[in-house]
């Protein structure tokens, strides 16, 4: 398959790059200073695109490659891919579900503990030599807190299972109630927030779920409530989040994603009740390798006329 041209949009995994180079004619878009000229030069040859959750695969890019057959995304979320156009043109689309579920769910629990028990601030307290001056202030217990989850898919259910181990009652909101789920269902996010101590965003990003966590939801969660976002930044109205935290209308937040990455509101940097992570939900060696292997397996299956492992379109 070394004659098949595969275009990788941004650097995400050295392992993935090396494995793709063993199998295909890999073109790395970021290594070409003149992107427009590159696309003109390779318009006819590119048959596959490897993207990620932060690379845009829109109508302009898709239309630039008339022989494009498949888009293999190194991510679960596909809000950055024009799925309708791919479907219309008969372009297959795959992603990497399941393999990153555990890591993202683990991180969500870590953020809950970090915010409630002030782990990051406690670390800084010790490093600054303050332990000699006296005990650190009291924090908030995690065990037994009600965890509300927006979106009860693979990751949402994994977060729920882990939270149950901490004796946390679980509630959720999704587009419809799930008949086979024992957790309490709320028909609106505001109702879920009003009945939760911790609100976790774990749904897919769609037009309907943009700003799903707005001022009403934050006020319902309240001055003792904690917001955790391990999904996508645009799920949360970020200016309203900053205001709620600064004004004390929201108790705290643990964020792995942001509205305009890599930009992060500087107002959050000074807040002790906020834990900020650099979008590392799936960022372990084991999971990134599994994601890369799945991307490769989907490409090999497609070009061997075999069923795709994780088809979306």
In the residue annotation, 240 being an active-site residue is answered as no
Tokens (6 digits) for 163:
């939270």
313 domain residue, yes or no: no
153 shares its domain with 256: yes
Is 300 within the bounds of a domain? yes
**Residue 311 within any structural domain of the chain:** no
49 & 83 share domain: yes
Distance CA(152)–CA(173), nearest Å, equals: 7
Does residue 310 belong to any structural domain of this protein?
A: no
Q: From the candidates 47, 232, 288, 302, which is the catalytic residue? A: 232
Structure tokens at 203: 């749904």
Domain region containing 240: 100-276
Shared-domain flag, residues 126 and 176: yes
What is the pLDDT at residue 9? 96
Tell me whether residue 279 is one of the annotated catalytic residues.
Answer: yes
CB 93 within 8 A of CB 48: no
Are 259 and 154 in the same domain? Answer: yes
What are the strands, taking DSSP E only, across the chain?
A: 5-8, 25-28, 46-52, 70-74, 92-94, 147-150, 170-173, 184-185, 198-201, 226-229, 252-255, 274-276
Q: Are residues 209 and 293 in the same domain?
A: no
Examine the domain organization and report whether 171 and 295 are in the same domain.
Answer: no
Residues 88 and 176 in one domain: no
Q: Supply the pLDDT for residue 2.
A: 78
**Sign (positive or negative) of CA dihedral 202, 208, 213, 219:** negative
Map residue 27 onto helix, strand or coil: strand
Q: What are phi and psi of 56, to 5 degrees?
A: -85, 125
DSSP secondary structure, 148-195, as one string: EEE--SHHHHHHHHHHHTTT--EEEE-SS--TT--SEE-SSHHHHHHT
Q: Are 77 and 146 part of one and the same domain?
A: no
For residue 216, the domain's CATH number is: 3.40.50.720
Q: Is residue 249 part of a domain?
A: yes
Q: Is 184 domain-assigned? A: yes
Whether residue 48 sits in one domain with residue 142: no
Alpha carbons 201 and 218: distance in angstroms, whole number: 12
Do 180 and 249 lie in one domain? The reply is: yes
Residues 297, 258 share a domain: no
Per-residue pLDDT tens digits of the chain, which is 313 residues long = 879 999 999 998 999 999 999 999 999 999 999 999 999 999 999 999 999 988 999 999 999 999 999 999 999 999 999 999 999 999 999 999 999 999 999 999 999 999 999 999 999 999 999 999 999 999 999 999 999 999 999 999 999 999 999 999 999 999 999 999 999 999 999 999 999 999 999 999 999 999 999 999 999 999 999 999 999 999 999 999 999 999 999 999 999 999 999 999 999 999 999 999 999 999 999 999 999 999 999 999 999 999 999 999 9
pLDDT of res. 1: 80
Considering the entire predicted model, what is its pTM?
0.94
Catalytic residue among 191, 267, 279, 300: 279
Domain count within the chain? 2
Q: Is residue 147 part of a domain?
A: yes
Residues 261 and 126 in one domain: yes
Asked if residue 309 belongs to a domain, the reply is: no
Q: Has 173 been annotated as catalytic?
A: no
Site of tokens 């959750």: 53
How far is CA 202 from each of CA 61, 233, 263, rounded to the nearest angstrom?
A: 29, 11, 21
Choice among 121, 191, 261, 300 that is catalytic: 261
């Amino acid at each position: 398959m070394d004659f098949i041209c595969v275009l990788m949009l941004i650097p995400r995994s050295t392992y993935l790059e090396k494995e793709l180079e063993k199998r295909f004619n890999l073109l790395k878009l970021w290594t070409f200073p003149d992107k427009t000229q590159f696309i003109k030069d390779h318009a006819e040859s590119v048959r596959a695109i490897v993207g990620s959750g932060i690379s845009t695969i829109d109508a302009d890019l898709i239309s630039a490659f008339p022989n494009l057959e498949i888009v293999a995304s190194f991510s679960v979320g596909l809000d950055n891919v024009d799925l309708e156009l791919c479907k219309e043109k008969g372009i297959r689309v795959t992603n990497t579900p399941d393999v990153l579920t555990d890591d993202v769910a683990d991180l969500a629990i870590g953020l809950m503990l970090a915010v409630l028990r002030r782990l990051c601030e406690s670390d800084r307290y010790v490093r600054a030599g303050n332990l000699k001056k006296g005990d650190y202030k009291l924090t908030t217990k995690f065990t037994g807190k009600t965890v509300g989850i927006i979106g009860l898919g693979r990751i949402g259910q994994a977060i729920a299972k882990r939270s149950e181990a901490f004796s946390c009652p679980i509630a959720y909101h999704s587009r419809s109630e799930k008949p086979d789920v024992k957790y309490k269902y709320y028909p609106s996010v505001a109702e879920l927030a009003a009945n939760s101590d911790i609100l976790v965003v774990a749904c897919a990003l769609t037009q309907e779920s943009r700003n799903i966590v707005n001022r009403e939801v934050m006020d319902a969660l309240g001055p003792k409530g904690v917001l955790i976002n391990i999904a996508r930044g645009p799920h949360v109205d970020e200016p309203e989040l900053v205001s709620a935290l600064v004004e004390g209308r929201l108790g705290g937040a643990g964020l792995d994603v942001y509205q305009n990455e890599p930009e992060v509101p500087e107002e959050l940097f000074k807040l002790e009740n906020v834990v900020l992570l650099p979008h590392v939900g799936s960022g372990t060696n084991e999971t990134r390798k599994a994601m890369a292997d799945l991307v490769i397996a989907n490409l090999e299956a497609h070009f061997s006329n075999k069923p795709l492992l994780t088809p979306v379109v």
